[in-house]
Amino acid sequence: AIIVDGDHNEVLYDYNAHQRMYPASVTKIMTSLVVLDAIDKGELTLETPVTASAAAVTLPEGSSTAGIKEGEVLTIEQLLYCDLVPSANEACNILAEAVSGSNQEFVKRMNDKAAELGMTDTNFTNPHGLHDPNHYTTAYDIYLMAAAAMKYDIFRTIVSTPVYTLPATNLSDSRTLHTTNSLLSNWYAIGYTYSKAIGIKTG
């Protein structure tokens, strides 16, 4: 665990902050950060349309999902909302393919970004966080990653969104997607909302 004063980058409390742990869906912060960096470099835009591949929407049973279908067309911005609000695993796969052509190539960029940020106890093997023994990070490294992602206005907007309406697409009617973050919404659990919470991501 770690508590940091974000205004002054001062660690106020930590407990095993450098112990390697499995991040699960907190991984999606890095996925989004790599996508936003790619946008910043002019490789694509928030409005870029992307068609979901069969591979991208094929998920293990029990995966969190936004119900995106093979052949469905969404924008990068819509996929980021699906990634970060309901924690949709297929959205991460689709984003990875849009940026790098494959999950494998995208993961290289995730690890390059981790190294750039000084995340010395982190290794990613996929863009969504499904368990892999070689997929790990620490509380301190999550702080470094989250601080970098929160520099993007669109990221801050998305992670503070309790409910998102995904507009109708070529294959689906509009969908209402709820955040997994119980600090922002009572949808998944009652009694944990906090009025000053601004995100970011559950694991």
Q: Which residues are catalytic, by number?
A: 25, 28, 87
Q: Which residues contact 97 (CB under 8 A, 6 or more apart)?
A: 50, 53, 55, 56, 103, 106
In 102-174, which residue ranges form alpha helices assigned H by DSSP? 103-116, 139-149, 153-159
Q: Are 95 and 128 in contact (CB under 8 A)?
A: no
Task: Please state the φ and ψ torsions of residue 104, each to the nearest 5 degrees.
Answer: -60, -45
- Distance between CA atoms of residues 14 and 23, nearest Å: 17
Output the CA torsion sign for 45, 51, 56, 62. positive
Distances (CA, A) of 37 to 1, 43, 124, 134: 27, 9, 17, 25
Among 124, 128, 148, 157, residue whose Cα is nearest residue 46: 157
